[in-house]
Structures are given as C-alpha cells and as structure tokens.
Amino acid sequence: MALPDTAQTPADVLKRVFGYDSFRGNQVEIIEHVVGGGDALVLMPTGGGKSLCYQIPALVRDGVAVVVSPLIALMQDQVDAVRALGVRAWFLNSTQHLDEQRAVEAAFLDDQLDLLYLAPERLRSETTLRLLQRGKIALFAIDEAHCVSQWGHDFRPDYLELSRLHERWPSVPRIALTATATEATRGEIATRLNLEEARHFVASFDRPNIQYRIVPKDEPRRQLLDLLRTEHAGDAGIVYCLSRKSVEQTAEFLTAQGIPALPYHAGLDADTRAENQARFLREDGVIMVATIAFGMGIDKPDVRFVAHLDLPKSVEGYYQETGRAGRDGLPSTAWLAYGLADVVQQRKMIDDSAGDLAHRRRLSQHLDAMLALCETVGCRRVQLLNYFGQWGEPCGNCDTCLAPPESWDGTVAAQKVLSTVFRLDRERRQKFGAGQIIDILLGRRTAKVERFDHHELTVFGVGTELVEGEWRGVFRQLMAQGLLAVEGNYQTFVLTEASREVLRGERKVMMRRDPRKQPKARAARSGQAPKVELSAEAAPVFERLRAWRGATAKEQGVPAYVIFHDATLREIASRMPTSLAELSTISGVGENKLAKYGEGVLETLGSGE
C-alpha cells in the first residue's frame, strides 16, 4: 500500500489502516511473533480476528505475504475487503484470464503487492513454485488450516502439500489459522503442516454474543418461521439442512411466506450457487438455506442467526457452523431443532457407512458428544467450551441458563419402554416403531394395536403418566444414551447390552424434561457486546447511513460490509461527527476509508437537517 518506507509498528498499522484503537485478545503477541520471523499456529474462534494476525505482519514485514485459502469463489471478496482498506492485494487462481495472471505475477515479482491469495492446488505446480522463488515472500499464511485434518469434515488433499513450504523456504515464517480445534485436530494440524516447533496460540473459544438454543423438534419449518418472525425479521441468516431436498423445500417454504430465501447445495450448478452466494453476501437480509457445503470462508459479519433443522454430526461441525453468526460481535442466535428421528437417522447412517470399525466408532463418538450437548441440563456454553478443553461459568445467555430444564429420574419410564420393546421383539413377526410402542403404553386401541393383539400385552396402558410428546422425549433420550438401538431398514428398536442393566434395575436413567416454553429474552452479561438500542434521534440516521452504504456498495460492486460494518455505522449515528478528523476517531474508520468515504458520510449526516 502507499505507506511510507519508515518502519511501522503493528499498532500504527492497526490504527492507520484498520481504524482500530487496540488489539484484541492475543492478537498482539501473535503479530509480534510473526513479525519477528516466528512460526505460529493460531486457534481462534470465528470472528475472533484472525485475519489481522497475518495482514498486519504482511504490511510490516518486507515482501509479499502469500495467503493460502481453500475457496477460490471467495477470493474476489477477500481481496475487495482488504483493498477497501488501501492494501495492495491480488489473487492467482483458475478463474482468471491469462493476461490478468501475468499482471499479478509481474506485480508480485516487482514487490508491488502486500498480499497474494493462492488456492492450495496452485502450490502443487512447479510453475507457481518457481514464480514464488523469484519474488520476496514476507510470510506464508495458511487459512482454514483444519482442512489438512483427514478426519475433519473439510479435508482437502491439497493441504497436505503445504508441509513442504518449510523445506523450500526455511527462513520464511508461516502462520496457520483455524477456528476448529479439539486437542486431537490441533495435533494433527501441527504434525501435517510441520508446525510442531511453531508457537501455538490458543484463544478462548467462547463467542459471548451468540445465544445457543436447542429445542425439541416438532414442526421444524413452522418453528423456524416463528423464530424468524418474532426475533429475526429482516435479518440475514443461514439455515442448515441435511439433505438437498429439504434445502429446496425449506427455501420454497420461506419464499412462499414472503421471506427472501435462497437454496445452496452441491447439486445445484456452479452458476446458480455462485449467484445465490453473491446475493447472500451483497444484499441485506437474505437467508441462505444450505447443506454444510456452504459457509466456509464466508466472512459476512452481520449474519444474525444460524439455524439447524437437522442434527449436526459432531460438536466441531456444529461449532463451526454456528460460529458464522455474529462475527461483528453483535447479539446473534444459534438455534437447533432436534428430535427422535434425528438420532435414529444418524445412528443408521453410521451403521451403513463405508469404512472400518474404527472409523464408525469415531463417527459414533462424534455423534455422542453432539447428543450430550443436546440433552444436557447444564449450560450449553460450558459444555461446548469443555469439549474444546476450556472452562467457563454458566453463561446466562443460552436456553438452559435462561430457562433451566429439570432433570428427572426416568428409570421407570425407561423400563416401560424397554420391556415393551423386549416383548415386541419376541414376537419377531413384524417390526414396530416408536408410534406403536407409545400407543401401547398409553393404552390406545388403534386398528394396528388390535390387529396384533397388542392390547393383550401386560404393558398395555401402563404409561398414562406421560403424554405422547413426553414419551417421544423418553425415546429420544434412550437412543441418545445408547439404551436403545435401531436395526434393519425399518425403524425397529432393539435392546442393547446397557438396556438390560436398566431392565434388571441395576442402572438409573436420568432424563431431561424439556421446558414447555422456550426462552425469548436476551440477557446481557459482562464481556458481551449487547446491541445498544439506538436513540430516537440516532435510529433514522443509522437507516440513512445504511441506505447510503447500500447505494455506494452497488455502485462499486462490493458487498455493503466491505464499506463499513453495522457497528461502525451505529457508532457514527450515535456520535454524529461533524468533521473528517472527528470521523477518523470512530472504530473501523481507517485512513483509506476516511479518504474514500468520509465526505459521503458527512454529507449523509448533514442531509437530514
């Protein structure tokens, strides 16, 4: 960028380029370490501020920083975002014309770049390696480093090649960054990227502005609609579904309700996917309904909610997906609807999955941890943090903190279900699902009950102390706790080793009673950035600024947040600066943005008078 040659400190760059006053968390240590030439492995939650950790060293150190990033579809946006700060950035990938590639190469060799984004597969080509060899490299940044983990859900074979950067460029510092990491994944990243000797920086994985909620699944689309209408009207968000079909159906359903929603899954052609992604990023208030194929690398800061209509396969996946909400630090919701069918389906998928026993066991462990999170009566956040090897206090900002569920001794209820399963299993004539068993327990003489003489079973009508929905909860929890299993292609329940202990009265079964009412209140807590309600004067100003931003973004063909984040516009609307100097003191207003947009902002502020 057009910075003077005099040495710059990281703090200068933070203020001048990014417009921020202070570093967050361990940013400053990471940046100093890399500026000093050290290797680093950085684990920081989404929204924690990872990009600055390589962007500032890129500007402070001599030469060009090479950023390896897995998603070429997002490189243009990444580059646009840093260019808006006045940073000289470009990318090299297969979407470019040859002359453009040549121009980028020339700029690189001439040391006219601060950042060069590369797709990992590029580094397999000798041509690229030779090119890099001829230029001056400030550092290598390996973004989304968990892609090197074979057991993770985002594995990219090309990432394995990155271990060789060190051999070719032993004196160039490398910084690998990721937002997913249990101890196991972190070890795998370090080994595979040859970063055992690197300094590891592990930030807190807490995302205090995200409110975690997990609700019993009833009519998922209606429940979702209710959430959107009551709490997130007009907000941008992501809805995750397991199958392509349910993605399409859900997107259609929302659209029919007048809510702007777009589908995204691997079955759509590349153009449609690109177009839907661009609309989600550029327009305000669009909802993306997607499979987990969507989301990595999306750094839209104002995603206000992430909703799951199906159970994620692991806590890591769940954390990664929900982490896409609220990167701007403003209050956001992570909402998951989960029910018996989810557990049955996931267990079956694991049984049917290819791979050896060890692989299936690993999948089961992932699922069990996810189920434990769903069924906990304790704070969701504490449970999440524990999963990542960290500690926390009950947070006051998750559903279980806001409306604590009770735990109850479900041993007798469990025995009733299990002995019914046992009796039906003995018949061996026909397979029966949860519905039939619940009818039996409730003593309902349905046609199917009579046809099989189930009203003559000793368990007929012994379960009237619970209502149907509660029995479903019992089934779900028995499945979650491994006290009941499914078999065959039908939803047929069978006993497990552990269920025999329950039947013999040797084992107590504690259950969670789902609260009848879901909490809606948002509780603020220390360390959290609550969305300060704008004053009566500031609110219309904020809307004017948003409109100005939208028009400007359209004109320049960039997403609105590339110009200013909501948080910055809110601060401007509240403080009403009257001069460029005053405007420059607002967080998020760096030199380049001040020069480019300062007049526009002041005019917009003045236009209301």
- Judged by CB under 5 A, the number of residues near Zn ion is 5
Contact between 54 and 175 under an 8 Å Cβ cutoff? The reply is yes
CB of 27 to ligand ADP, least distance (A): 6
Residue nearer to ligand ADP on the CB measure, 476 or 565: 565
When CB distances are held under 5 to 8 angstroms depending on the partner's kind, the choice from Zn ion, ligand ADP, none that residue 401 binds is Zn ion
How far apart CA 107 and CA 520 sit, in angstroms, is: 53
Query: Which of 13, 17, 20, 454 is the binder for ligand ADP (CB under 6 A)?
Result: 20
CB of 235 to ligand ADP, least distance (A): 17
**432 touches ligand ADP by CB under 6 A:** no
**50 touches ligand ADP by CB under 6 A:** yes
Q: Which residues are CB-contacts of 555 (< 8 A; sequence separation ≥ 6)?
A: none
- Token readout for 76 is 């243009």
Give the E-state strand segments of 179-285 in sequence order: 199-202, 210-216, 236-240, 261-264
How far apart CA 148 and CA 154 sit, in angstroms, is: 8
- Judged by CB under 6 A, the number of residues near ligand ADP is 17
Taking the alpha carbons of 514, 520, 525, 527 in that order, is the dihedral positive or negative?
positive
When CB distances are held under 5 to 8 angstroms depending on the partner's kind, the choice from ligand ADP, Zn ion, none that residue 347 binds is none
Residue 15 DSSP symbol: I
When CB distances are held under 5 to 8 angstroms depending on the partner's kind, the choice from Zn ion, ligand ADP, none that residue 84 binds is none
Query: Which of 31, 52, 307, 384 is the binder for ligand ADP (CB under 6 A)?
Result: 52
Query: Which of 1, 10, 23, 311 is the binder for ligand ADP (CB under 6 A)?
Result: 23
CB of 51 to ligand ADP, least distance (A): 3
> Inter-axis angle of helices 411-427 and 434-442, to 10 degrees?
110
Residue nearer to ligand ADP on the CB measure, 24 or 525: 24
- Token readout for 42 is 């950085």
When CB distances are held under 5 to 8 angstroms depending on the partner's kind, the choice from ligand ADP, Zn ion, none that residue 381 binds is Zn ion
When CB distances are held under 5 to 8 angstroms depending on the partner's kind, the choice from Zn ion, ligand ADP, none that residue 398 binds is Zn ion
Query: Which of 72, 398, 418, 545 is the binder for Zn ion (CB under 5 A)?
Result: 398
When CB distances are held under 5 to 8 angstroms depending on the partner's kind, the choice from ligand ADP, Zn ion, none that residue 247 binds is none
**334 touches Zn ion by CB under 5 A:** no
Query: Which of 327, 380, 381, 546 is the binder for ligand ADP (CB under 6 A)?
Result: 327
How far apart CA 479 and CA 472 sit, in angstroms, is: 11
- Of 539-578, binders to Zn ion (CB under 5 A) are none
How far apart CA 288 and CA 235 sit, in angstroms, is: 11
- Of 276-305, binders to ligand ADP (CB under 6 A) are 299, 301
Give the E-state strand segments of 25-161 in sequence order: 40-43, 64-68, 89-92, 115-118, 137-142
CB of 44 to Zn ion, least distance (A): 21
How far apart CA 79 and CA 562 sit, in angstroms, is: 10
Contact between 470 and 441 under an 8 Å Cβ cutoff? The reply is no
CA angle 391, 410, 403 (to 5 degrees): 45
- Of 275-314, binders to Zn ion (CB under 5 A) are none
β-pair type (484-487, 303-308): unpaired
Residue nearer to ligand ADP on the CB measure, 43 or 434: 43
Piece of 50-58, 232-240, 416-424, 468-476 that binds ligand ADP (CB under 6 A): 50-58
Taking the alpha carbons of 304, 309, 315, 317 in that order, is the dihedral positive or negative?
negative
Q: In 10 A of CB 352, how many CB atoms?
A: 9
Query: Which of 13, 34, 35, 44 is the binder for ligand ADP (CB under 6 A)?
Result: 44
Query: Which of 35, 39, 48, 273 is the binder for ligand ADP (CB under 6 A)?
Result: 48
Contacts by residues 433-437 (CB-CB < 8 Å, ≥ 24 positions apart): 433/490, 433/491, 433/492, 433/493, 434/340, 434/471, 434/472, 434/475, 434/491, 434/493, 437/475, 437/493
Q: Which residues bind Zn ion (CB under 5 A)?
A: 379, 381, 395, 398, 401
- Give the interface with ligand ADP as residue ranges (CB under 6 A): 20, 23-24, 27, 44, 46-52, 299, 301, 327-328, 565
